[in-house]
Each structure stands twice: as C-alpha cells, then as structure tokens.
Chain A
Amino acid sequence: MNGKPKIGVYVCHCGTNIAGTVNVEEVVQFAQTLPDVVVARNYSYMCSDPGQALITDDIANMGLNRVVVASCSPRMHEPTFRKTLLSGGLNPYYLEMANIREQCSWVHDDPIAATEKAKRVVEAAVVKARRLEALDVKEVDVEPSCLIIGAGIAGIQAALDIADAGFKVYLVEKSPTVGGHMAQLDKTFPTLDCSACILTPKMVDVANHPNIELMTYSQVEEIGGYIGNFDIKVRKKSRFVDMDKCTGCGDCAAECRLAGRIPNEFDEGIGMRGAIYLPFPQAVPAKYTIDKENCLFLTKGKCGESPKCKDACKAGAINFDLTDEVVEFKVGTIIVATGYDVFDARMKPEYGYGVYDNVLTALEFERMVNASGPTGGKVVMLERGKKKKKKEGEEVEAPKAPQSVTFIQCVGSRDKSVGNEYCSRVCCMYTAKLAHLVKDKVGHDCEVTVFYMDVRAFGKGFEEFYDRVRREGVKYIRGNPSEIYKKGDKLVVRAEDTLTATPLEHETDMVVLSVGLCPRSDNREIIDLLKLSQSSDLFYLEAHPKLRPVDTASDGVYLAGVCQGPKDIPDAVAQAKGAASAAMIPMASGKVKVEAQTSVVNEETCRGCGFCVELCPFTAIELVEINRMGWPVKVARVNEALCKGCGACAAACLSGSIQQRSFKDVQLLPQIKALGVK
C-alpha cells in the first residue's frame, strides 16, 4: 500500500463504439462521486498517445496511486495501460480495467440502461482498485537451448534455423529416421520438384550440425519446469545396433530371415522389410534398426543357430544386449512439431478400402509412384496379402499397369459423419499432382478421373497447376461418390455428377482415396506432457488464431507444422521458421518476465487435499510437507515461475486457502457487491 488510495478514472469513448450507446459524460460525473476517486475524465481514444498522457500527467500532478480505465476488454489493452502506469512511475498492477465496451455498449441498445450499467461496472472497478496491491514482476534466466519434438520438415527447419543462430537444439524423433511425411512423397505440388531432392540435404544437415543433438528412435518421457528452465527426460529406444559401429551397408537386412515379410511403415505397408531395416535408402541416420516386436531372436530368444544379421555384420555392430537409454537435459524453450496421421480410410467403409486390393490411400499411391518406393516408381495393379508363388522355373507374371485411375477427394475431410469438419488443405493439390503423375508415368491414354466437392486452389501457383492438369486430360467430376463395388475385374464408383444432376456408375481399375490429415492418434502423449489445449478439430491450439499463431498458452512452448492444423509444405516451413524465431526471442534476451498475478497459498489454513494440484493445467502446484506447530502436515505450494494466474486452483479450494493475486476474495467480493442489487 502506498498510502490512502487516490484513484483516477478514465472513461474511453472508443470513437462511437462506447460513446454511441453509453453517455460517457454522465459516467464521468458519477465516477467523481465514488470514494477515493480524485479525478475522472473522458477521452475519445484512451489507448492513443494523448489518452495515455492524460493518465501519466495526472499521476505526476495529482499524485494518483490507482488507475481505473473504463474502456474495452483487458485482453488487448491491459498490457498497454500497465505500461502507461509504469511510465508514470506507478506499479503496473495498480491498474483496474472496467469493460464497458464488449460487456456493455456492444451488447445493449438502450442508452439509458447501458449508461446505468456502465456506472455499475465503473463503480465495481473503483471498489476493486481501492484494494489492489502492488505486485513484483519477476524475471527468470533462460537456458539457451531448445527441444524440438518431431523431425519432419517443420521440426527440421526450426532446428536448422535455431542452430544456425547459435543456440543448442535437441531434436527428438520417434521413428528411426528424420524426414517425416515429406520424405515419403514423390513430387511436391505445384512445382513438381522432387520431395527427396529438396528434403534430404536438410536431413543430412540436422545430423551433422554442431549445434544439433539429434535423437532418433527416441521419445520425450517427462517435461518439468517452466519457460527458460524446462527439465527434459528422453528415452532413446534401443536399436540393438551400435550406432557408432554401424556403417549402414545393409548386409544384415539382406540376411534377415524375415526379410520382405514385414510391412514397411515408411512404404505405408505396400512395401516389405525385414526385422532389421533401414526405412528408406536416404534415411538419416543411415543406421539400421531391429524391430523388437518382430525380430525372432528378441521375441522367441532363438533365430536358427545364431542370428543371421549378427553373422553378416562385418562391423560387429549388432548387439542384442543393448538397452534403452534415458537422457536428461535442460532447455529454455520447446517447439512441438509432431505432425499428423493420415485419415484412416477404413472409417469410410463404403469405399471398400481394406476390402478391394486396388483401393489405395493417396499416401500408398505416393509410395508407389516414388522411384525409391516398393515398385520402383511403377504404377501397377496391386495384389495384396498374397504370397508370391515361387515355383521352380515359373516366371512370375509382371504386374499390370492400370488402364484407368480414379481419385476421390475429401475422404475424411469436410465430413461431419467422421467428425472432421475441417478442410485438410492439401488434398486438392496433391490429387492434381498425383493425377499428373499417372499421366506422366502410365501414359496419356490412361484415363484419370477425379471426383471432387470443390477444388480449392488457393496458394501461389495452385490455380495454374490445377488448370494445367485439366488440360492434360484429367477429367474432374463434381460429386461425392456414395459407394464403390467390384464388378468382374473392375471397380465401379457410384456417384452423382451434381453439375448435371446425373447419377452415374464409373468403371475403373484403381481408386485412390485422397485422405485428409488428422491429429495424431498419440496426440494425448504430448498434451499430457505439456498441458497443451486442443481446438475443436483436436489439433493443438495456438495462443491466438491470428496474432499468436505459433505460440501456445504455455509460455516457452511453440507449435510448428501440421500438429497445429492442416497445412502444406511451404506453410509448414513458414510456421517452423516463425516458431524458431519465437523460441529465439527469450533465448536471445536471456531473461523472461513471469506472470505476477500468480496464486498464493495460505499455508496456515491449507488442508493439503491437493484438489488444486490435480486441477492446475500448468503443473505449477505441488504438495510439500511443512511443520505446523510441531506436526508434519502437507500443504500446497505454488511455483510462481510456472503459474499463469488462471485461477482454477482458487476456484476449487474449499477452504479458500489459495488465492490469486489481484483476484483475491477480499478484492472480488466488494466488486461483486458493487455490481449487485442496491
């Protein structure tokens, strides 16, 4: 407390936003009658320079020690006016805002009633301002390092940017190789440059960069701490291959008894691998991994006389005694770049995915057209699940190319029936790209048809590309197919051409489902680690959809790539670069301010029930044992660096023992009373 409260009240017109409905003059006159109010003024835009000068002048000339600004929601301008108070020499937490715009003038028509309400709101703010306390803004040091979770294109780009700026990066990837979904793609729209050609140099860079510690086949297990000082625990899963010795020659994989018998995840299951494998030739690191779910030696304890891979390895790198390694380190910031899952086409049973051999997902098709894929880039009819007959002397019939390929767009996107209302933003264009590749690889006589709802070609060069593909003879039919069934060797797509209102049955050899992008099925793991929020589409939620698109509600945690919402490669890279610069701000300045309106526990009355501990979305509260009159008792304690001042704890505390600074019961109750019936 700095003496008796001397309050200045500043009522904003906000142009006509407030003054159009509320009689601001009347509110000012009323405010002047309130206890401890020394001055009340109005101004057209309080947030403008002259508006703020009114406040600082009054602080200097009248000795104000509390300020009430009656204007808009504190969300936008509370920081503005806090700075005003600070520049006037007052503690910034002696500010109280009265929201007479969103909660008054914008929602009421009757000027008289709105003015009366504005007076109440101002009175409530004045009553609270009398009880405000000065708060200290604390600073914490920031560890100059960043954890990036996920090494797809977004994670890679963010890692390279941060590492190039001179900060340490820990890049953690769950699978055995970096690259993510982009590495699976053949060409990229709309320029048709080869995905691998532009991605693999970056993959190699992250592995070689002196500032990047790459941890593949690893998972973040625990995250504690707060911005500037996160404590990270990562489990490096055992590959049963000594990373230092493995030369990546591949002798082991060739010898594996299970070679060619396990569906390769990287090839979306249409290609096969063994129990020891390299996901794809350009994998980084180029080290082999033993899949312990399948390896005969690791599951059954026996692999013939001795494991063939071990015998084949000249470097002696294979060691079945290797175990998982847990590493711990500290970072200052975290970027989440965990990417997506493609939509599970089995959720649309009418399309027969998983039933008919030649109904493919676009990602499977992508692997097929990829030169490094299982068919060497040839588009061929698939015979799934059948073992190759290997009779002596019998020639295996070469698989045939399809005569017609049909694409169906919006599978799992813009579809309430599967719970995905959103547009996946990439399918229209990758469909156009794949349609072009069919024409390119199979030949121009191959009939290519696309069923679509709308074609959204919104990006740079997209419309031009879509136009080009149509000129190449790809037939676009507007209509969402209702069913696919088999007739002889052919698949029949039943649909309606909605532009001509004609029902049609379209015969084709192969159907490619343009599946959308979905939040990862293991999204929860990261949510539990970092207490992230999700938007209604279940992608991770950014702090503000427009102005803070790479930040999260947790300070020091940023989002990059599709984990935040569907986007194409350029957008993912742009966001990654955004997240990288956002993460570098605290690292470069070396210090961050932490929330001052934190919770505080009265340890005398706390009964240690731990409701607040369970509820805290930021894991800022823990139970600690204290000595109360000689008795060991547990009480809640708040880590002020972690607390964001959300107030969930204070609302839940049955004994009222946890209070949020600036929102204490003794501050709020008079405020509520002032709003109540007189």
Chain B
Amino acid sequence: MVDVNKLREKAKEVVSRDDVRLLIGYRPGTYGFRARPAFVLGPDEVDELIFTPACVNNLASYITLEEKLPVPRGEEPDLRKVAVMVKGCDSRALVQQMEEKAYDRDRILVLGIPCKGVVDMAKVEARFPNVLERGEIALEGDKFVLSFDGTREEVAREELVADKCLRCRYPTPLVYDELLDEAVERFADDDYSDVSELEKRSAADKWAYWEEKFSRCIRCYSCRNVCPMCYCEDCVLDRLQPQWMRRSVDISENTAYHISRAYHLAGRCIQCGECQRVCPVDIPLMELNRKFYKDVEELYDYEPGTSVENPPLLSTFKVDDREDFIL
C-alpha cells in the first residue's frame, strides 16, 4: 500500500511547482469508505489526499473531460501541466489518449501508483450489507481489512477485489514521472474465459441476453461520460444533423447506442471497467468491450494503451493482416 504521508508529501511538492496547474487525486467520500476524485490546486489542499482500495475511479478521464472555457481576449490560456495519480489500469488510458494525440506527454505529470487491486463495492455490499456508509477499508498483505461498527473483518483479496483486478496484466503504471511505491508484479493473466463462455452461446441466445440488458438502459450516458476514451468534444451520438440515432429510450435505439459505442472502443478500450461500474442499471458493458478486446488481441496481436509509440490499431494496416473473417 502507498504510504499516505509520502503521497501527500509528493503531492505537495508537485502542486507547488510553477509549471503545474492542478493535481487530480483521491479524497475520502462524504461518508463511509468510498473515495472520490480530488482536484488539488495548492499545497494547502493536499492533506485530504488518500489512496485506499476504494479508489476505484479512473482519473485519466478528467484530463480530457475538463472543459476548456473560452480564453478572454488579451489573456493567455493556462497551459501548465496537469498532475494525475493513476493506477496501472488507469495509466493505460493515459497511454491510449497520448497514442491518439489527445495531448502531448509534457502536458501531464504522472504520479504512478502500483496497485494490488481495488474493491468491487457490489461484492462488499453482498458480503456485508449496509455497512458501506460507515466504515473503512484497507489492504494489508493479501487481505482486505474492513472496519465498521467497532468490528474488524479480514477478507481474502480474491473475494472482494474487482474482476478486472483478478486478470490485471499491468498493476504497475506503464507511464509515470514518479512511482509512489514498489512496482507490483502481475497477479494473473487474462484467459478470457468469461468471453469464451459468451461466445459459445447461439446467436438467438446472445440476442435474447443483450436485448434484456439493453432494454434496461435509461440512456443516462454515464458510461460514455466516465469513459477515458470518449473525449470527443462533440459526440456524434449527440448530433441532430445527421441524427445517427434517436434520443428515444427504446430497445432499438438503446441497442444502436451500445453497439456504436462498443465499435468506437474497438482497439481503444483499455479495460478500466469504469463504464460497467457506473451503470445505474447494471448492464455488463465490459462483456461487450472485452469481446472486442479479445478479438483485437487475437487478430492483430495488439493491446491498446501499452505503448505511446504504437500507432492506434485502427489507423494502421499491415499487408499480412488477417482477413479471413471478412465476408
């Protein structure tokens, strides 16, 4: 675990720099052991920063999400660096964003957090109902330690950790200016067993499965808004001229929305899982994204967000690219 004092000290040093405008990190949520993003503008604000297994948010999203307000005439835009704390998975979002030229490397300052896994709040809730709002969680060794109502519960890491962490290939950030802890070796490899299960089903079966999932969608667009790879200033799905899909919430338009989004993420999704985490109606969006992820890896031997030097997959081709799947 990252030593919180070291983290705050480093954060203080970073936000005090003249060339840093802002640090994006984590602070405790309003209650319970939830964490939420913190936007630290000065050294006096660093004391609230934390890093716990509850720090699930992918902060890379905020770099591109930040609105660029018009610069008043006669003023210069503030082009100072944005410092950001990232876990291994989140760092891949930075890499992919830079592969796509969202910003240059020298525009950000990365504090890397080697990560042993974050908790899946749904798993905690299932195991210990109604305690999320009044307790704390920490990782000690290979156990999560939950303290609430004066009790202390130790649970094996595997039981509460988010699914994505179970198959995490890159627990240590792939891009950073400073690493806040010892690097962490990968825990396990991804065997895509969940995707293979889904692939085995019949087309009719799959359709019935997704029809039920998509029919729940309320088109809140949380999945899109939280996604670090969805950062077009003007999303095609919002446009009226031409209108690619209607705004009505029905199975046809919902399906078009989710399929379009999955295609827009093919070869780009870095599997941070934020879309699925924030979905208020529990649509298993990562199942869709992971199918593309697996296909891209198998067909093109390409993993998004692993090297800034890689050109984005869908902007390149090789003469010997597989094409046996083309009808």
Q: Evaluate contact between A630 and B70: CB separation under 8 angstroms.
A: yes
| A356 at interface, CB cutoff 8 A | no
| A190 at interface, CB cutoff 8 A | no
Interface string of A3-21 (1 = CB under 8 A from B): 0000000000000000000
Chain B residues whose CB sits within 8 angstroms of the CB of A655 once the complex forms: 232-236
Q: Evaluate contact between B239 and A609: CB separation under 8 angstroms.
A: no
Chain B residues whose CB sits within 8 angstroms of the CB of A631 once the complex forms: 68, 71, 77
| A669 at interface, CB cutoff 8 A | yes
| A245 at interface, CB cutoff 8 A | no
Q: From B319, which residue of chain A is reached at the shortest CB distance?
A: A534
Q: Evaluate contact between B312 and A611: CB separation under 8 angstroms.
A: yes
The residues in A between 554 and 612 inclusive whose CB is less than 8 angstroms from any CB of B are 604-605, 607-612
Complex CA–CA separation, A516 to B278 (angstroms): 63
Chain A residues whose CB sits within 8 angstroms of the CB of B253 once the complex forms: none
Nearest Cβ in chain A — how far from B259, in angstroms? 14
Complex CA–CA separation, A608 to B103 (angstroms): 9
| B163 at interface, CB cutoff 8 A | no
Interface string of A628-661 (1 = CB under 8 A from B): 1111101000000000000000001011110000
Interface string of B172-183 (1 = CB under 8 A from A): 000000000000
Q: Evaluate contact between B315 and A611: CB separation under 8 angstroms.
A: yes
| A192 at interface, CB cutoff 8 A | no
Complex CA–CA separation, A208 to B76 (angstroms): 61
A634-B101, A665-B242 known; A607+B232 contact, CB < 8 A: yes
Q: Evaluate contact between B101 and A654: CB separation under 8 angstroms.
A: no
Q: Evaluate contact between A652 and B315: CB separation under 8 angstroms.
A: yes
Q: Evaluate contact between A604 and B315: CB separation under 8 angstroms.
A: no
Most buried by B among A534, A654, A656, A669: A654
A629-B71, A666-B241 known; A609+B312 contact, CB < 8 A: yes
Q: From A649, which residue of chain B is reached at the shortest CB distance?
A: B315
Q: From B232, which residue of chain A is reached at the shortest CB distance?
A: A655
Looking at the complex, which one of A610, A629, A666 makes contact with B101 (CB distance below 8 Å)? Answer: A610
Q: Evaluate contact between B101 and A623: CB separation under 8 angstroms.
A: yes
Complex CA–CA separation, A349 to B246 (angstroms): 65
Nearest Cβ in chain A — how far from B81, in angstroms? 15
Most buried by A among B70, B234, B241, B244: B234
Nearest Cβ in chain B — how far from A53, in angstroms? 37
| A164 at interface, CB cutoff 8 A | no
Nearest Cβ in chain A — how far from B55, in angstroms? 28
Chain B residues whose CB sits within 8 angstroms of the CB of A615 once the complex forms: 315-316
Nearest Cβ in chain A — how far from B23, in angstroms? 21
Complex CA–CA separation, A632 to B69 (angstroms): 12
| A614 at interface, CB cutoff 8 A | yes
Q: From A666, which residue of chain B is reached at the shortest CB distance?
A: B242
Q: From B76, which residue of chain A is reached at the shortest CB distance?
A: A630
Complex CA–CA separation, A612 to B231 (angstroms): 17
Chain B residues whose CB sits within 8 angstroms of the CB of A608 once the complex forms: 101-102
A623-B101, A652-B314, A654-B264 known; A607+B242 contact, CB < 8 A: no
Complex CA–CA separation, A632 to B70 (angstroms): 11
A609-B102, A611-B314, A666-B241 known; A630+B77 contact, CB < 8 A: yes
Complex CA–CA separation, A666 to B244 (angstroms): 10
* Interface residue total, chain B, C-beta cutoff 8 A: 29
* Interface residue total, chain A, C-beta cutoff 8 A: 27
| B311 at interface, CB cutoff 8 A | yes
Q: Evaluate contact between B234 and A605: CB separation under 8 angstroms.
A: yes
Q: From B241, which residue of chain A is reached at the shortest CB distance?
A: A666
| B309 at interface, CB cutoff 8 A | no
Looking at the complex, which one of B100, B102, B234 makes contact with A611 (CB distance below 8 Å)? Answer: B100
Q: Evaluate contact between A605 and B70: CB separation under 8 angstroms.
A: no
Interface string of B213-235 (1 = CB under 8 A from A): 00000000000000000011111
Complex CA–CA separation, A655 to B72 (angstroms): 27
Q: Evaluate contact between B242 and A628: CB separation under 8 angstroms.
A: no
Q: Evaluate contact between B231 and A607: CB separation under 8 angstroms.
A: yes
Chain B residues whose CB sits within 8 angstroms of the CB of A623 once the complex forms: 101
Chain B residues whose CB sits within 8 angstroms of the CB of A609 once the complex forms: 100-102, 312
Complex CA–CA separation, A608 to B244 (angstroms): 22
Nearest Cβ in chain B — how far from A641, in angstroms? 23
Q: Secondary structure of the B side of the interface? A: loop
Nearest Cβ in chain A — how far from B236, in angstroms? 4
Chain B residues whose CB sits within 8 angstroms of the CB of A666 once the complex forms: 241-242
Chain A residues whose CB sits within 8 angstroms of the CB of B100 once the complex forms: 609-611
Chain A residues whose CB sits within 8 angstroms of the CB of B241 once the complex forms: 666
Q: From A654, which residue of chain B is reached at the shortest CB distance?
A: B264
Complex CA–CA separation, A610 to B241 (angstroms): 24
A628-B68, A629-B70, A666-B241 known; A604+B232 contact, CB < 8 A: no
Looking at the complex, which one of A614, A654, A656, A657 makes contact with B316 (CB distance below 8 Å)? Answer: A614
Chain A residues whose CB sits within 8 angstroms of the CB of B323 once the complex forms: none
Nearest Cβ in chain B — how far from A341, in angstroms? 18
Complex CA–CA separation, A300 to B14 (angstroms): 52
Nearest Cβ in chain A — how far from B12, in angstroms? 29
Looking at the complex, which one of A604, A605, A628, A630 makes contact with B75 (CB distance below 8 Å)? Answer: A630
Nearest Cβ in chain B — how far from A678, in angstroms? 16
Complex CA–CA separation, A656 to B239 (angstroms): 10
Q: Evaluate contact between A632 and B312: CB separation under 8 angstroms.
A: no
Nearest Cβ in chain A — how far from B31, in angstroms? 38
Looking at the complex, which one of A604, A611, A632, A669 makes contact with B77 (CB distance below 8 Å)? Answer: A632
Nearest Cβ in chain A — how far from B5, in angstroms? 37
A631-B71, A632-B77 known; A605+B233 contact, CB < 8 A: yes
Nearest Cβ in chain A — how far from B245, in angstroms? 11
Complex CA–CA separation, A665 to B243 (angstroms): 9
Chain B residues whose CB sits within 8 angstroms of the CB of A669 once the complex forms: 242, 244
The residues in B between 3 and 34 inclusive whose CB is less than 8 angstroms from any CB of A are none
A607-B102, A607-B231 known; A614+B312 contact, CB < 8 A: yes
A630-B77, A631-B68, A634-B101 known; A654+B315 contact, CB < 8 A: no
Nearest Cβ in chain A — how far from B224, in angstroms? 12
Nearest Cβ in chain B — how far from A576, in angstroms? 28
Interface string of B282-326 (1 = CB under 8 A from A): 000000000000000000000000000001101110010000000
Complex CA–CA separation, A666 to B72 (angstroms): 35
Q: From A629, which residue of chain B is reached at the shortest CB distance?
A: B70
Chain A residues whose CB sits within 8 angstroms of the CB of B102 once the complex forms: 607-609
Chain A residues whose CB sits within 8 angstroms of the CB of B231 once the complex forms: 607
Chain A residues whose CB sits within 8 angstroms of the CB of B70 once the complex forms: 629-630
Q: Evaluate contact between B75 and A654: CB separation under 8 angstroms.
A: no
Chain B residues whose CB sits within 8 angstroms of the CB of A614 once the complex forms: 311-312, 315-316
Chain B residues whose CB sits within 8 angstroms of the CB of A630 once the complex forms: 70-72, 75-77
Nearest Cβ in chain B — how far from A522, in angstroms? 15
Nearest Cβ in chain A — how far from B82, in angstroms? 14
Q: From B316, which residue of chain A is reached at the shortest CB distance?
A: A614
Looking at the complex, which one of B68, B76, B232, B239 makes contact with A654 (CB distance below 8 Å)? Answer: B232
Chain B residues whose CB sits within 8 angstroms of the CB of A605 once the complex forms: 232-234
Complex CA–CA separation, A608 to B97 (angstroms): 11
Chain A residues whose CB sits within 8 angstroms of the CB of B312 once the complex forms: 609, 611, 614
Nearest Cβ in chain A — how far from B272, in angstroms? 18
Complex CA–CA separation, A654 to B264 (angstroms): 7
Chain A residues whose CB sits within 8 angstroms of the CB of B77 once the complex forms: 630-632
Complex CA–CA separation, A604 to B233 (angstroms): 9
Complex CA–CA separation, A116 to B233 (angstroms): 43
Complex CA–CA separation, A607 to B232 (angstroms): 6
Complex CA–CA separation, A657 to B239 (angstroms): 11
Nearest Cβ in chain A — how far from B162, in angstroms? 27
Q: From A614, which residue of chain B is reached at the shortest CB distance?
A: B315
Q: From B79, which residue of chain A is reached at the shortest CB distance?
A: A632
Can you name 14 A-B residue pairings with CB atoms under 8 Å?
A: A534-B319, A604-B234, A607-B232, A609-B100, A609-B101, A610-B315, A614-B315, A614-B316, A629-B71, A630-B72, A631-B68, A631-B71, A655-B236, A657-B234
17 extra interface residue pairs, beta carbon distance < 8 Å, beyond A614-B312, A630-B75, A631-B77: A605-B233, A607-B232, A608-B102, A609-B100, A610-B315, A614-B315, A614-B316, A615-B316, A629-B68, A629-B70, A631-B71, A654-B236, A654-B264, A655-B233, A656-B239, A665-B242, A666-B242
Going nearest first, the 10 A-B pairs with the smallest beta carbon separation are: A630-B71, A614-B315, A655-B232, A629-B70, A605-B234, A611-B315, A609-B100, A656-B236, A665-B242, A669-B242
